[in-house]
């Protein structure tokens, strides 16, 4: 690696050539504050919080924005002079002059990057007083936008356009009237937004957040006529600890279960179970298409953000989608049919909650063909952030809880179900089952490492019996576009595709615990959280979906066999073509 010599705060450093001042300072273990910057996503120097003084070629020091200014040989950089500190403080006070300062009631209080910097720099929040525009809150969608708190950093715009390749929001108007919105001021619900929530994850303040459904859950728990159950997606156990100060990548399954039981749920279940059920239906469906000349490539259907993206942007691929419901919807369907009948309950008396880091699942619960006996399969889709708030509000000391286990009869999940939360996990789980069905014998090696990892697109080929199987895995809809365009152009010959809406999969979903930009850029959250799921897999007694005894029991007692008529009625769905 080629380096150049610079001086930072009077100390000599050799830093990588081509670095920005911000990157050079970081390599010297010096943090420079930012609000708008996200590496490789939003590098526009808009917030002016990263101001530093530089001198080049013996010229006088001048203020520059560290996030976009390149270092040069012999440059001298100052990061903490009184002039710099005052400039940053003034910029923060100017940001606050048009910011709705309802910090005590803001969902981002204590996790707000603006709040943290204002405290550190001792700002006067009333120094600049002037005109403010009052904006109506756009709350008809599961993703809620509040421009009264927006600081125009444009991180959300960059996440939507540069990360996801969608771009349904942007800067409207100019000057003092500039604000973030959709084209023609359309509410998000009327656009082709896929509810992935990557804008929420990117926002440094409380200008974007998911619809809060915690009151609905509390009301149901307090209703003595309701049987209230919750199932948690694989990723939640790898994330929820972050709400309580645990390091990213900490497995908090046992404490999570204990906390949910103390909130008053009548049953706390593992969504790994219906991840396995999804594999049984999906692998069978795929093999049926291969043998019977069905539509190929078949594309997975467990990511509701991806499904909505396909419906809006690639409706020509709808017939390629697996008809399987997502694990969330399958679980609700099983509880309100099989379990309700088994217990002699009216499905109307069951309140079912799904916990997942996927904000698009809040949209999914209201999709067509997701009801049974006149009631929705899933009543509320909650996020780890919502669960974290519920646990804290209830006064439960999360760290002091003992580890407890999921409740019967839906406590069993395989290692294949666990890895659903990471990109490539659905494909790998399906391959484990499909391979054993095709070859008629146990696999010697269960790990399909070629489809693992956080790369946006992964391709692999396998020889399964007489079948030469080419597969593709994509995470993030921008990468999905690359794969689908290649298939359309005849440049990519694959029979099976896994697509997840969020980069890295559910471990990086829009409902994950909030982590500030400096943490997100220092730690690859996708990797450390996915490592929890792969560890669950390798330490599991059962690592193949078709060997899950609870799933076998469901087929023996209720569904008959995968892809049966009854299974299609309850566990499968259909899709719609949407406009842009």
- End-to-end CA separation in angstroms for the chain: 46
Residue 337 banded pLDDT, cuts 50, 70, 90: very high
Residue 545 banded pLDDT, cuts 50, 70, 90: very high
Dmax of the chain from CA atoms? 84
Strand runs labelled E in 324-479: 350-355, 371-372, 375-376, 380-382, 457-464, 467-475
Q: Is the pLDDT of residue 125 over 90?
A: no
Among candidate residues 458, 456, 457, the one with its CA nearest the CA of residue 448: 458
Q: Is the pLDDT of residue 195 over 80?
A: yes
93-210 carries CATH number 3.40.50.720: no
pLDDT in tens, 242-252: 999 999 999 99
The tokens of 274 are what? 């219906």
Over residues 376-388, the mean pLDDT reads 97
How many angstroms separate the CA atoms of 286 and 272, rounded? 20
pTM equals: 0.96
Sequence-distant (6+) residues with CB within 8 A of 506 are 233, 234, 235, 303, 356, 357, 358, 420, 421, 422, 500
215-571 carries CATH number 3.40.50.1780: yes
Over residues 565-580, the mean pLDDT reads 93
The tokens of 509 are what? 């979903």
How high is the pLDDT of residue 497?
A: 98
- 14-28 in b/e burial notation, b at 16+ Cβ within 10 A? ebeeebbbbbbbbeb
- DSSP lists the bridge partners of residue 78 as 53
The tokens of 541 are what? 């007694």
How high is the pLDDT of residue 31?
A: 95
Q: Is the pLDDT of residue 551 over 90?
A: yes
Residue 370 banded pLDDT, cuts 50, 70, 90: confident
If you average pLDDT over every residue of the chain, what do you get?
Answer: 96
Residue 129 banded pLDDT, cuts 50, 70, 90: confident
Higher-confidence position of 367 and 269: 269
- State whether the Cα torsion 386-387-390-395 is positive or negative: negative
Sequence-distant (6+) residues with CB within 8 A of 208 are 143, 144, 145, 146, 156, 199, 200
Among candidate residues 162, 89, 76, the one with its CA nearest the CA of residue 119: 89
3-80 carries CATH number 3.30.460.10: no
Sequence-distant (6+) residues with CB within 8 A of 565 are none
How many angstroms separate the CA atoms of 74 and 148, rounded? 44
How high is the pLDDT of residue 248?
A: 98
Residue whose token pair is 């090696």:
445
Length in residues, the chain: 580
CB distance 41 to 57 below 8 Å:
no
Task: Enumerate the domain spans of the chain.
Answer: 3-80, 93-210, 215-571
Q: What is the DSSP string of 174-217?
A: -GGG-EEE-GGG--GGGTT-----HHHHH-SSSSEEEPP-HHHH
The tokens of 474 are what? 């994509």
Sequence-distant (6+) residues with CB within 8 A of 382 are 213, 214, 217, 353, 354, 355, 356
CB distance 445 to 419 below 8 Å:
no
How many angstroms separate the CA atoms of 475 and 322, rounded? 17
Q: Is the pLDDT of residue 267 over 80?
A: yes
CB distance 83 to 113 below 8 Å:
no
CB distance 543 to 415 below 8 Å:
yes
How high is the pLDDT of residue 1?
A: 83
Over residues 147-156, the mean pLDDT reads 98
């Amino acid at each position: 690696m080629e380096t150049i010599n610079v001086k930072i705060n009077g100390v000599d450093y050799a830093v990588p050539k081509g670095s920005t001042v911000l990157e050079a300072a970081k390599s010297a273990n010096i943090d420079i504050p930012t609000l708008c910057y996200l590496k490789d996503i939003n590098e526009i120097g808009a917030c002016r919080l990263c101001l530093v003084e530089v001198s080049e070629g013996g010229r006088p020091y001048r203020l520059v924005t560290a996030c976009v200014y390149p270092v040069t040989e012999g440059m001298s950089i100052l990061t903490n002079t009184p002039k710099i500190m005052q400039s940053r403080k003034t910029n923060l006070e100017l940001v606050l002059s048009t910011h709705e300062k309802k910090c005590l009631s803001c969902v981002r209080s204590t996790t707000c990057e603006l709040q943290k910097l204002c405290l550190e720099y001792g700002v006067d929040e009333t120094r600049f007083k002037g005109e403010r525009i009052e904006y109506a809150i756009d709350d008809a969608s599961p993703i809620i936008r509040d421009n009264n708190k927006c600081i125009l950093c444009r991180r959300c715009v960059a996440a939507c356009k540069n990360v996801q390749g969608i771009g349904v929001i942007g800067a409207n108007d100019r000057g003092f009237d500039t604000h973030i919105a959709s084209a023609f001021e359309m509410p998000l619900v009327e656009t082709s937004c896929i509810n992935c929530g990557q804008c929420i994850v990117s926002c440094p303040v409380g200008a974007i957040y998911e619809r809060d459904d915690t009151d609905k859950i509390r009301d149901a728990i307090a209703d003595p006529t309701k049987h209230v159950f919750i199932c948690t997606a694989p990723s939640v156990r790898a994330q929820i600890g972050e709400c309580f100060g645990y390091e990213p990548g900490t497995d908090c399954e046992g404490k999570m279960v204990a906390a949910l039981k103390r909130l008053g749920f009548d049953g706390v279940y593992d969504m790994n179970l219906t991840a396995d059920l999804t594999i049984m239906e999906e692998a069978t469906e795929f093999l049926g298409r291969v043998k019977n000349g069905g539509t190929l490539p078949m594309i997975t259907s467990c990511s509701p953000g991806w499904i909505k993206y396909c419906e809006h942007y690639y409706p020509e691929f709808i017939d390629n989608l697996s008809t399987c419901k997502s694990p969330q919807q399958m679980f609700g369907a099983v509880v309100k049919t099989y379990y309700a009948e088994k217990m002699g309950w009216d499905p109307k008396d069951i309140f079912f909650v799904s916990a997942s880091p996927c904000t698009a699942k809040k949209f999914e619960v209201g999709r067509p063909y997701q009801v049974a006996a006149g009631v929705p399969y899933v009543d509320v889709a909650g996020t780890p952030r919502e669960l974290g708030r519920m646990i804290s509000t209830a006064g439960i000391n999360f760290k002091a809880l003992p580890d407890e286990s999921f409740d019967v009869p839906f406590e069993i999940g395989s290692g294949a179900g666990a890895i659903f939360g990471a990109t490539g996990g659905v494909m790998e789980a399906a391959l484990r089952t499909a391979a054993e069905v095709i070859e008629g014998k146990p696999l010697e090696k269960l790990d399909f490492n070629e489809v693992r990892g956080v790369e946006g697109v992964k391709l692999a080929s396998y020889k399964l019996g007489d079948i030469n199987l080419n597969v593709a895995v994509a995470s993030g809809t921008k990468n999905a576009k690359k794969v689908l365009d290649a298939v359309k152009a005849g440049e990519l010959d694959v029979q099976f595709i896994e697509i997840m809406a969020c980069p890295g999969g559910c471990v990086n979903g829009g409902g994950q615990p909030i982590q500030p930009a400096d943490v997100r850029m220092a730690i690859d959250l996708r990797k450390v959280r996915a490592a929890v799921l792969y560890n669950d897999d390798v330490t599991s007694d059962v690592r193949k979906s078709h060997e899950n005894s609870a799933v076998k029991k469901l087929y023996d007692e209720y569904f008959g066999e995968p892809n049966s008529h009854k299974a299609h009625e309850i566990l499968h769905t259909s899709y719609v073509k949407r406009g842009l």
